[in-house]
Amino acid sequence: MTRRLYLKAALAGAASLAAGCSGMPAQGGATIGVTGAAVLAAMTLANDYWQARTAPQQWSFWDVAAYHTGNMEAYLLTGNDAWLRYSTTWAEYNQWSSARSDVKAQWKYGYGETADHVLFGDWQVCFQTYIDLYNLDPHKERRKIARALEVIGYQIGTAGNDYWWWADGLYMVMPVMTKLYKVTGDARYLDKLHDYFLFADTLMFDHAAGLYYRDAKYVYPAHRSSNGGKDFWARGDGWVFAALAKVLADLPPSHPSHRLFVQRFQAMARALKPAQQDEGYWTRSLLDPQQAPGRETSGTAFFTYGYLWGMNHGYLDKADYAPVVRKSWSYLSRVALQPDGKLGYVQPIGERAIAGQVVDQESTASFGVGAFLLAGAELHRYLAAEARR
């Protein structure tokens, strides 16, 4: 079956929602060059492909849980009940929990995939979806967020502030804390978020480059890219850029940390723009494309989401950044997204740009699909707003 027929089939299921923003956006610097209907078709094609081939009964660790953050955004946009059931089934399978240890004295926050690594952020991203599902529940069943309240409540009661020692962790946990603040009204979640972020920012942010190192191992000049320069990993910075958008969505502007988050978000936007390749993607090592050349989808999708969120909420100028998204979405929807719905060119699980690593159209992963859905949902909102102008 041709790509045209696949898109036509996906469009049929999305037609009613797309009707409100199926036209082209207003002319000028803000033009993206795609319709809302086409965006919905691409999202449907990718998400239905993934769910048809991946049972929801998967663990609650970061790789799967990050997908569900995108699936929930796709549901909130479309109201597709099948997508909501998929995330609900996943949450029920995991008993609305994370790493399962109940012995707090044994809880760890270094890297680990075992039951006692409860304080390790890669086990906490699942709470984002649990909280979203709780918020959608008219009965507000407390069991859905009980583990999130227990774990993060314990964590913010400790004296430590070094929980986020790697860039990915900012996406995994920062939005959990703002979401819990909105549920509970407890300002400690925001205050501790600020403390934890300051540690991570001091450790990983490069003021001159406006970007984040993946972790302390990669800080220049102790570590250098293949050309001898600074080595910023695309997906690592993608996690941070998307995290800042998600935090700003829920953080009260009156909170003392708000200004810093805006500054970092806007600095990253400026730094990422010149690193984009002509085809629309970002290479795995942002400032050294030759270290690991070629297409990469996960970082590109997170950047696309961040740019769109920033434009949608007035933090980024549309004339400056709509051309960036025009290219990146063209790559994501026309090159990375295959005719059958597989999202390709996703770098496998890792922590850096690896020279010689094969990343091709067959390379896909749950977190990449989640990032694509985040970008698509935000693009649809952008187009709808432009159509109303």
Contact 131, 176 (CB under 8 A): yes
Tokens of 279: 């085809």
**Residue numbers annotated as active site:** 168
**Residue 95 φ then ψ, to 5°:** 55, 35
Q: Smallest Cα–Cα separation from 127: which of 108, 109, 147, 112? A: 147
d(CA 77, CA 155): 32
Q: Smallest Cα–Cα separation from 348: which of 250, 267, 235, 240? A: 235
Q: Smallest Cα–Cα separation from 237: which of 308, 321, 291, 166? A: 166
- Cross-strand bridge partners of residue 166: 215
Among left, alpha and beta (phi > 0; psi -120 to 50; other), residue 280 is left
d(CA 373, CA 39): 10
The number of CA neighbours under 13 Å toward the Cβ of 134 is 23
Q: Smallest Cα–Cα separation from 75: which of 98, 52, 36, 44? A: 44
Q: Smallest Cα–Cα separation from 153: which of 127, 116, 114? A: 127
DSSP annotation string for 175-209 = HHHHHHHHHH--THHHHHHHHHHHHHHHHHEETTT
CA geometry: angle 264, 270, 271, nearest 5 deg = 85
The number of CA neighbours under 13 Å toward the Cβ of 224 is 6
Among left, alpha and beta (phi > 0; psi -120 to 50; other), residue 342 is beta
Contact 380, 319 (CB under 8 A): no
CA geometry: angle 315, 317, 323, nearest 5 deg = 130
d(CA 179, CA 368): 23
